[in-house]
Amino acid sequence: ALPWENWIGKTDCFPVKGRSLSSRLFSVPDCQSIVKKAIVERLKTKYRVPWFEETGALYQVQFLILKDEVEISIDTSGAGLHKRGYRANSAEAPIKETLAAAMVRLARVHPDSHVIDPFCGSGTILIEACLDAMNIAPGLRRGFTAETWKSVDASVWQRERERARDLVRKDGAFLASGYDIDGAAVSLTLENAKKAGVVAQVRAEKRDIRDFVHDTERGCVICNPPYGERMLDAEQAAELYREMGRVFPPRRGWSYSIISPDEMFEECFGRRADRRR
């Protein structure tokens, strides 16, 4: 039997969830019961108690049965790692933080870049660009389930957070500018930037894409425009793409990184992408 007592205390909570794929043991509820019972019996023997109140720290036990091979783990994170802790509220159809971070990496953002998102929504792309440019660890301002565990010394978390803070780049000239036609989205961008600790690097204002201007010598546009499936009908999306093509002309010192599921995007935009990912 696994030494569950090395992790789970007498009063701790240990729910079980899991998945089964291509296996003879296919009933997930039955497998949950089996795993739970095995843990309970082990802990009963070690703690010499008949039952467990489960009011303490959370130890989320997970199992994966894949082709009749079983993997059992304890979730140390809690909320998914793509959640950075700054986006309690979001605009309609927000981009995931991890996808925004990937776009920033592909756009090759630097410590002195000027990133612009003309459809900033809740500010996710702008904030992820700040985190990348300033070398801020994405999970620095969020909590993790394992922080409540007695089996992990609190000094470990404190030490790693201090190390991450020491690595933050504070001397760059990075700037992130966001625009949106929705004033509430602009306010949300600034609110989330404050939660992420990067509000000093972010500016946002209400502005239509038709009013986009190249007001600096260099700029890095990264955006996730509204599209047919998401917020606009097909004709509205096509018109938006044509307008983007007009206000995003080839320009020395400027780059444009745009994510879109629309196969007609390049045709409406008016030119083909230099690179497609």
CATH number of the domain bearing residue 162: 3.40.50.150
92 compared with 171, residue with greater pLDDT: 171
Which whole-number Å values give the CA distances from 168 to 143, 144, 210, in the listed order? Answer: 19, 20, 36
The yes-or-no verdict on residue 67 having pLDDT over 60 is yes
pLDDT-derived band at 226, boundaries 50, 70, 90: confident
**Same domain for 163 and 53:** no
**To the nearest 10°, the Cα dihedral for 102, 106, 110, 115?**
-80
pLDDT-derived band at 229, boundaries 50, 70, 90: low
**Same domain for 136 and 67:** no
Q: Which two tokens stand for residue 196?
A: 């992420």
**Same domain for 202 and 118:** yes
Is residue 158 domain-resident?
Answer: yes
Is residue 263 domain-resident?
Answer: yes
115/129 Cα distance (integer angstroms): 7
CB atoms closer than 10 angstroms to residue 97: 22
The confidence score (pLDDT) of residue 163 equals 98
**Same domain for 148 and 54:** no
Is residue 90 domain-resident?
Answer: no
pLDDT-derived band at 76, boundaries 50, 70, 90: very high
Radius of gyration of the chain (CA): 24
pLDDT-derived band at 228, boundaries 50, 70, 90: low
Average pLDDT over residues 59-64: 98
The confidence score (pLDDT) of residue 231 equals 58
Strand partners, 4: none
CB 139 within 8 A of CB 116: no
**Same domain for 165 and 34:** no
Is residue 276 domain-resident?
Answer: no
Q: Is 212 helix (H, G, I), strand (E, B) or coil?
A: coil
Q: Fill in the amino acid letter for 55.
A: T
Average pLDDT over residues 155-168: 97
Is residue 150 domain-resident?
Answer: yes
**Same domain for 265 and 138:** yes
- Last-in-domain residue among 44, 75, 106: 75
Q: Fill in the amino acid letter for 1.
A: A
CATH number of 9's domain: 3.30.2130.30
Is residue 92 domain-resident?
Answer: no
* Tens-digit pLDDT profile for residues 238-254: 999 999 999 999 999 99
The range of the structural domain enclosing residue 43 comes to 4-75
**Same domain for 68 and 128:** no
**Same domain for 59 and 102:** no
28/17 Cα distance (integer angstroms): 8
The yes-or-no verdict on residue 144 having pLDDT over 80 is yes
CB 63 within 8 A of CB 31: yes
**Same domain for 258 and 195:** yes
- Give percent above pLDDT 90 in the chain: 86
The confidence score (pLDDT) of residue 234 equals 79
Which whole-number Å values give the CA distances from 9 to 46, 51, 55, in the listed order? Answer: 10, 13, 10
Average pLDDT over residues 162-177: 95
* Tens-digit pLDDT profile for residues 78-137: 999 989 999 877 766 689 999 999 999 999 999 999 999 999 999 999 999 999 999 999
Tally of structural domains, the chain? 2
Which whole-number Å values give the CA distances from 136 to 141, 162, 172, 189, 275, in the listed order? Answer: 10, 12, 13, 18, 28
pTM of the complete model: 0.88
Unique residue bearing structure tokens 């010192």? 253
